[in-house]
């Protein structure tokens, strides 16, 4: 197939693009606006491949999206483009409404028009895979059963509310207009090429320079962790084999408290950096005021995905975390420019307020 991947220069999107080029025969058209969290360097392994093409565009730009669809004629769309950082959504929700809700709506409209114009065989083959998050389901108590495909939506942050809205739009376009949509919701992803504002890379990067490792509250919030390369294979499986109009939950069956994750990272860094002046790295941990509306626990039951499509995670949390730490230690040239750019942007913002 020729697959249009929106947000393909982001963390999960770039993993999908690398997987599709390296491990399948599919072609990839990467549509990305290249906002702050996107990094073309994440695609260095595939950017010159004959089966890969890049288009810089905003999913809210209907005319541009229409032109890309007509020129490339994809067999499927994997929609990953989104604003995804909860803290940023609390500080500035407008971008999340615009990208996640308005952007998804406009992409669905263009996809529907494109699909309706396809010839019969191509029309039957076409798929629109909407990729979402477990955060749309809200927060679990310690003894609650894990999220499943029948769990009611209860979003609690601007980010999760915007993603919940986009999920409902995608399924509405299927049920109302017949667009062949399949949906997936994933747990917390981690692994190589993740923007260093998220928990695991943030802790690694700060620990390397001896900075405090800020943990919200007492660090007892629980997340289910999924290695990003496992997620990429799951998304491909769902796109190809998932039942239309259905949703599938993708998880790693690795529930961990935030403080356990940070402590494990510190132990790995102590082991892998025996000459570090910051050992033991756990002494860098500091507890900070919890963020507003911080969901206590997420957990995913991925049994439907395993039962119907035969997929299950292949990388344990211990394996994946070790691989992730090693990657960040070996690829400072990838993440250091992002840190420098972020700090420069932050300084410019502060100066603009003076």
Q: Which range of residues forms the domain containing residue 185? A: 2-189+227-251+297-314
Tell me how far apart the alpha carbons of residues 196 and 11 are, in angstroms, rounded to a whole number: 10
pLDDT of residue 100: 97
pLDDT of residue 88: 85
Residue 31 lies in a domain: yes
Cβ atoms within 10 A of the Cβ of 287, count?
A: 14
Residue in the block written with tokens 């990429």: 232
Q: Which residue numbers are catalytic?
A: 134-135, 159
pLDDT of residue 349: 42
Could you report the per-residue pLDDT of 301-322, keeping only the tens digit for each?
A: 999 999 999 999 999 999 999 9
Secondary structure of residue 100 in the 3-state scheme: helix
Task: Tell me the CA distances in angstroms from 95 to 86, 162, 164, 246, 254, one per residue in order.
Answer: 12, 10, 15, 28, 31
Could you report the per-residue pLDDT of 272-281, keeping only the tens digit for each?
A: 999 999 999 9
pTM, 2 dp: 0.94
Looking only at the bridges linking them, the beta strands covering 2-6 and 76-79 are: parallel
In the chain, % of residues over pLDDT 90: 88
List phi, psi (to 5°) of 287. Answer: -100, 130
Instruction: Check residues 37 and 221 and name the one with the higher pLDDT.
Output: 221
In terms of Cβ atoms closer than 10 Å to its own Cβ (0-12, 13-18, 19+), residue 68 is buried
**Residue 23: how many CA atoms within 13 Å on its side-chain side?**
13
Q: Does the pLDDT of residue 354 top 60, yes or no?
A: no
Flag the least confident range among 145-154, 220-229, 332-341: 332-341
List phi, psi (to 5°) of 214. Answer: -75, 125
Spell out where the chain has E strands: 2-6, 27-32, 52-56, 76-79, 127-133, 181-186, 188-190, 213-216, 222-227, 247-250, 255-257, 285-288
Q: Does the pLDDT of residue 342 top 70, yes or no?
A: no
Residue 331 lies in a domain: no
Number of domains in the chain: 1
Residue 129 lies in a domain: yes
Residue 103 lies in a domain: yes
pLDDT of residue 312: 95
Residue 57 lies in a domain: yes
Tell me how far apart the alpha carbons of residues 197 and 194 are, in angstroms, rounded to a whole number: 8
Preceding amide of 294 cis, omega within 30: no
Write down the mean pLDDT value for the chain: 94
Our CA angle for 93, 302, 251, nearest 5°, is: 50
Q: What's the mean pLDDT in 30-42?
A: 93
pLDDT of residue 338: 87
**Model confidence at 340, in pLDDT bands (50, 70, 90)?**
confident
Q: In terms of residues, how long is the chain?
A: 354
Could you report the per-residue pLDDT of 195-222, keeping only the tens digit for each?
A: 998 999 999 999 999 999 999 999 999 9
Tell me how far apart the alpha carbons of residues 214 and 230 are, in angstroms, rounded to a whole number: 28
Secondary structure letter of residue 191 according to DSSP: S
CATH of the domain at 31: 3.40.50.720
Could you report the per-residue pLDDT of 47-66, keeping only the tens digit for each?
A: 999 999 999 999 999 999 99
Residue 113 lies in a domain: yes
pLDDT of residue 352: 44
Residue 239 lies in a domain: yes
Residue in the block written with tokens 């949509």: 181
Tell me how far apart the alpha carbons of residues 254 and 314 are, in angstroms, rounded to a whole number: 12
Q: Does the pLDDT of residue 69 top 80, yes or no?
A: yes
Residue 337 lies in a domain: no
Could you report the per-residue pLDDT of 174-201, keeping only the tens digit for each?
A: 999 999 999 999 999 999 999 998 999 9
Could you report the per-residue pLDDT of 232-249, keeping only the tens digit for each?
A: 999 999 999 999 999 999
């Amino acid at each position: 197939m020729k697959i249009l991947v929106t947000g393909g220069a982001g963390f999960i999107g770039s993993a999908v693009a690398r997987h599709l080029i390296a491990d399948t025969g599919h072609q990839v058209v990467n549509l990305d606006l290249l906002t702050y969290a996107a990094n073309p360097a994440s695609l260095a392994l595939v950017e010159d491949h004959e089966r890969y093409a890049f288009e810089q565009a905003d999913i809210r730009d209907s005319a541009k999206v229409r032109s890309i669809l007509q020129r490339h004629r994809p067999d499927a769309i994997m929609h990953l483009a989104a604003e995804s950082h909860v803290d940023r959504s609390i500080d500035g929700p407008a971008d999340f409404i615009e990208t996640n809700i308005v952007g998804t709506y406009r992409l669905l409209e263009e996809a529907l028009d494109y699909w309706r114009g396809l010839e019969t065989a191509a029309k039957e083959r076409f798929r629109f895979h909407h990729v979402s998050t477990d955060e749309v389901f809200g927060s679990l108590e310690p003894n609650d059963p894990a999220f499943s495909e029948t769990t009611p939506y209860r979003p609690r942050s601007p980010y999760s509310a915007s993603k919940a809205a986009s999920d409902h739009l995608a399924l509405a376009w299927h049920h109302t207009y017949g667009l062949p949509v399949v949906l997936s919701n994933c747990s917390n992803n981690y692994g190589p090429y993740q923007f260093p504002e998220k928990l695991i890379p943030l802790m690694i990067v700060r620990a390397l320079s001896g900075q405090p490792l800020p943990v919200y509250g007492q660090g007892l919030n629980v997340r289910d962790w999924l290695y990003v390369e496992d997620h990429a294979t799951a998304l491909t499986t769902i796109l190809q084999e998932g039942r239309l109009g259905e949703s599938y939950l993708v998880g790693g069956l690795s529930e961990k408290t935030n403080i356990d994750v940070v402590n494990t990272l510190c132990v790995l860094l102590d082991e892998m950096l025996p000459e570090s002046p910051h050992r033991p790295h756990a002494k860098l941990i500091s507890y900070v005021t919890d963020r507003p509306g911080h969901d206590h626990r997420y957990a995913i039951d991925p049994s439907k995905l395993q039962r119907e499509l035969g997929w299950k995670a292949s990388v344990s949390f211990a394996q994946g975390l070790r691989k992730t730490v090693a990657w960040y230690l070996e690829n400072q040239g990838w993440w250091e420019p992002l840190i420098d750019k972020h700090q420069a942007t932050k300084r410019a913002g502060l100066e603009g307020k003076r």
